[in-house]
Amino acid sequence: MKKLLLALAIIGLSAAGGWSAEILGKVKTDLRISPTNGDIVFYEISGNLKFDTQVNDNFYGMIKLGFRYSGQPKGQAALNNILIPQELAWSSSVMPLDILIDEAYFTCDNFIFDGLEFTAGKQRIVWGTADVFNPTDIINPGDFYDLLNFGKKSASIAVNTTLHFYIAESESGLQFVYQPQSPIAQLNLTMIGMMEAAMSARIIEGILPYVTSFSNHTSGWTAPSAVTPELSIYNASYGLRYKINLGPIDLSANAVSRINDLPYVKTVSIQQQTVIDMGGGTTNITLNGKSYELAYYREAEAGLDFSWNTGLFVLWGEAGVTFPENTVTVMHSDAVVIVLPVMITNNVTTVQEASYISNQPYVKYTVGADCLFEGGWYINFQFAHGFFTERGLIGAERLQDYFILRFEKTFLDDKIKLFLTGILNVNTLGDAFDSADFGGYFNGHYGAVLQFGVTYKPTPGLELTLGSMLFDGADGCTIGQMKDYDLIYTSMEYAF
Amino acid sequence: MRRMMGIFTILILAAGFSAGYGLTGDEVLNKVEDSLTGPQDMESLNILTLANSDGSGKEIREMKMYVSGNDMRVVKFTKPAGVNGIGLLVTGADQIWIYLPEMKKIKMIQGSFKNDSFQGTDFSYNEIGSYEYKKDYSASIQSEDDKTYTLVLTRKAGSEKTYGKVVMTVDKSTFIPSKAEFYDGNTLKKVMDIIEVEKMGKYDIPVKIKVEDVVKKHYTEMVMKDVKFDQGLKGKGIFTQQYLKKKE
C-alpha cells in the first residue's frame, strides 16, 4: 500500500508541478500454457507509465513506473498458491500487485563544459553493440523475471557521464559509470528451483553410492538465505568505455569492476543421522535437514566490441575476458552417528570445500550478423559462447555454446509478422570434438529450442502475439534442462 | 552598317537556335534536384496520414525530420505512443542506425532495405526527405507545354533503385515536380503528388506530398510544418548517435 501511495504521489507531483511532462503508457497481458499438462505457467497483466520532459536543449528528466498484477493468488510464506487461511483476507495475497520504479533519472547535456553528458538516477545504460547476446554488457544487471525475455537487463542506480568529442570527422565518446551499490539480477522461481534441484542432486550423488539407504533426501530446504552485498563504498561498480564511429564501423572498448549480479552457493549445510550396523554390515542415513546460503563475489572484466555495416549485412562481435574472484562452496555436514549393535553415539561434523567459480580468467563472446531484405524478410544469425547465466570454466555454470538463427517475415505493411527462432545449445563444442564419440557426447550434452509465432498490429500501438516454444535435449546443458517447459503463449500489448 | 546587321542576325539566330532546342532532359532533372535540395539543411515536423485509397483505415503519425544534403538524415517518431522515440540516423550510403528507446539501444542496420517501406508508410527509406534522382536516372523530355515538362527517367546501369522508369511532370517556372509516376517495367507501382509548394525565403519547399501505392491501394500523405532551413545542423551535432537518443 505504501508503494502504491508513493507511486501516486510521484504521479501527482509530476502532473501538478507545472513540469509539463509528456505521459506515455503501456499495458500488456500475458498468458502462457503448458501444452503437456495444461498448467498455466504465467498469467499476468503488466505495464508502465512514463513521465518525461525535455526541459530545455540541455536538460531531460524522466520517471517510469511499472506494475505487475498476477492473476494467481500467492502465499506470502510459500510463494505459491498455498495460502494460510488468514491470507485470503489480504488483497496482497489474493490479488498480488507489484509497483516498481523502472527508471527515474535526469540527463544534463553540455554539463560544466560542451560535450559532457551527465545522467544520474536509476537508468538503463548503453553498453556494447551486439544484438541481445551482449557478453560485455555487465554494467546493467540481468532481469530474469520473465523467462521468455531472457536477454532483458534492468536499470540500476548510477552516475553515467560521457564526454563526446571528435577525432577528425569521427564521432567518439569516453564514458564513465559509477554505481554506488553493485546491482544484482532479479531471478525467477524456475531458476531458483533448478539451482536447488542441482544442489539436491549433488548431495544425493555424494552420499547414496556409499550407503545402504538414504531416506528423506527429497525433503525441502530449510531456511535458505541469499546474502546480498552490503551497502558500502567497497561494493560499488565502475565502468569505463571508449567508443568511436569510423564510418560504417562502430568500435568500443570497455573495462568494468563489479560484483557479479548472480549469486553463487557459498555454503550448503546438511543435518543427518547415520546408523552403522556393524552386525548387518549396513549404513543407513536419514536426512534431517538441509540449507544453503547464496552470496555474491567481485570480478573485473575487459571487453571489445564492433559493429560493421558491410552494405549487404551488419556484422558484429563482442568479447569480454572476465577475471573472477575465487569462490568456493563450503559443505557442512552435521551427523549424529550411531554404531550398532554396541549403541555408540557420536556427533561428527565434516567440512568440505569445492571450487564454485575458479579465479581462472574466462572469455565470453558473441559473433553475429543480420540482414533486412526487401519484401519484409529479416534474418539474424549468431554464435554465442556463454549464456547470460553462465560463467567460469568449470562447474555447473561454465560457459556453453549456442547457435541462434531467427527469421522474420512481415506482411500487410508490417501489420503481420511471422517469426521463427531456433537455438542449438551444446555443452561444449570443444568437448564434443575432443570426445572419442562425438555423437554420444553430443546426445548427452545438447539442447534445442524452437520458437515460432505470429504478431498482429491491427492499429498503431496495439500488438497481439500468439506463439509457441518447444524445448528438447539432455540434462547435460542449460536448454536441455528445460525440456519440460514447452509452452504456448499469447500476449496483447497496447501503448498509449 | 551591313556588317552590324549581319552580327545582329547571327545573334538572333543563335538565340533562336538555343530557344528552339531548350533544355535537355538531364538539364531539367538537374534543375529539379537543385530546386528541391536548395537549402543547405532543413528541419520540419511531419504529419503523416496513412489510409487505404478509398479513405478507410486512416492513421495519423508524427515525426521530426532533419535533412542535410542528399545523404544525412535524422528522423524521430513522436506519435503515436507505440513508436514514440524510435529514431533513424543516416550519415551515408552504408551508415544507418536505428534507436530503439525501449532497450535504449542504437543498432546499426544495413542499407539493402532502403527501397523498402519506411515504417509501414508508402514512402521507402530512400524517399523520406530525399529528392535525389540524377545519380540513379538519366532523363529525357517526353513532352512539354507552356507550363510543364514531362520527363521520362530511366534507371542507370548499376543503380539500386527499385523503379526502372519514372515519369515526372515538372513546373517550368519553379522546376518543382508536381507529379511522379514510378514504374516497374511497364507496370505503374506508385504515384507521388506534390500537392502544395510554399515559397519560404529564397526556396520553394514542397510542404504537402502524397504517395500512393497503386498495387496495395494505400496512400501516405505527408504535411511538413514548422519548416526551418540553413541552420547549420551538421555543425550543431544533429547527425550523431548522441543526438539520435535525445528526446524531441
SS3 label, residue A190: helix
Is residue A292 predicted with pLDDT exceeding 90? yes
Region A201-209 average pLDDT: 85
Q: What is the pTM of this model?
A: 0.83
Candidates A250, A308, A373; nearest CB to B112? A373
pLDDT band at A216 (very low <50, low <70, confident <90, very high): confident
Residue in chain B lying closest to A459 (CA): B59
Q: Between these two residues, A366 and B102, which has the higher pLDDT value?
A: A366
Contact A126 B105 (CB under 8 A): yes
**Residue B92 contacts A where some CB pair is shorter than 8 Å:** yes
How close does chain A come to B112, measured CA to CA in Å?
6
**Per-residue pLDDT reduced to its tens digit, B203-245:** 888 899 999 999 889 999 999 999 998 899 988 889 998 899 8
Closest Cβ opposite residue A496 in set B81, B115, B216: B81
Give the mean pLDDT of B124-136: 74
pLDDT value of position B16: 41
Share of residues in chain A with pLDDT > 90 (%): 55
Q: Span B4-25, mean pLDDT?
A: 52
pLDDT per position as a tens digit, A401-423: 999 999 999 988 788 999 999 99
Facing residue for B113 by CB, picked from A310, A372, A496: A372
The partner residue sitting opposite B81, judged by closest CB among A171, A314, A495, is A495
- Each residue of B36-77: pLDDT tens digit? 777 888 999 999 999 999 988 888 999 999 988 877 889 999
| A128 compared with A234, residue with greater pLDDT | A234
CB neighbourhood size of A108 (10 A): 17
CB contact at 8 A, B96 and B103: no
pLDDT tens-digit profile of A141-198?
999 988 778 788 999 999 999 999 999 888 899 999 999 999 999 998 888 988 898 8
Cβ <8 Å between B82 and A125 = no
Q: Alpha-carbon distance B80 to B118, whole Å?
A: 15
Residue A295 has pLDDT above 90, yes or no: yes
Least confident of A89-103, A212-226, B120-134: B120-134
Tell me if A309 and B81 make a contact (CB, 8 A cut-off). Answer: no
pLDDT at A4 over 70: no
Which of A280, A290, A276 has the alpha carbon at shortest distance from A336?
A276
Give pLDDT, residue B11: 44
Q: Which residue type, as a one-letter code, is found at position B181?
A: E
Q: Are B95 and A309 in contact (CB < 8 Å)?
A: yes
**Using CB atoms, which residue from A129, A311, A463 is nearest to B94?**
A311
User: Residue B14: what pLDDT?
Assistant: 43
**From B118, which residue of chain A is nearest by alpha-carbon distance?**
A413
- Is B123 within 8 Å of B131 (Cβ atoms)? no
Residue B6 has pLDDT above 60, yes or no: no
- What pLDDT, on the 0 to 100 scale, is given for residue A210? 85
Chain A CB within 8 Å of residue B78 CB: no
Write down the pLDDT at residue A380: 94
Higher-pLDDT residue of A212 and A343 is A212
**Strand duo B87-92 + B72-79: pairing:** antiparallel
Give residue B15's pLDDT.
42
Residues A372, B96: C-beta atoms closer than 8 Å: no
Residues 6+ apart with CB under 8 A from A58: A108, A109, A110, A111
Model pLDDT for residues A372-407, shown as the tens digit of each residue:
887 788 999 999 999 988 998 888 889 999 999 999
Taking 70 as the threshold, does the pLDDT of residue B9 lie above it?
A: no
The whole-chain average pLDDT of chain A stands at: 89
How many residues comprise chain A?
Answer: 496
Q: Is the ipTM of this complex over 0.95?
A: no
Give the residue from B94, B97, B248 with the most A CB atoms within 10 Å of its CB, the best one to mutate.
B94
Q: Which amino acid belongs to residue A385?
A: H
Look at B186 and B103; give whichever has higher pLDDT. Answer: B186
Radius of gyration of chain A (CA): 26
Q: What pLDDT is attached to residue A81?
A: 81
Whether residue A428 is preceded by a cis peptide bond, meaning omega within 30 degrees of 0, is yes
Query: How far is the alpha carbon of B208 from chain A, nearest alpha carbon, in Å?
Result: 22
Does residue A299 register a pLDDT over 90? yes
Chain A closest-CA separation from residue B113 CA (Å): 5
A158 contact residues in B (CB cutoff 8 A): none
The pLDDT of residue A473: 94
Mean pLDDT for the stretch of residues A128-134: 78
Q: What pLDDT score does A14 carry?
A: 55
B119/A414 CB distance under 8 A: yes
DSSP helix/strand/coil, A197: helix
Q: Among candidates B206, B128, B127, which has minimal Cα distance to B161?
A: B127
Domains of chain B: 24-244 (2.50.20.10)
Mean residue pLDDT of chain B comes to 83
Model confidence over A309-357: pLDDT tens digits?
A: 888 889 999 999 999 999 999 999 998 988 888 778 888 899 999 899 8
Residue from B105, B118, B124 whose CB has the most chain A CBs within 10 Å, to mutate = B105
- Note whether B81 contacts A375, CB cutoff 8 Å: no
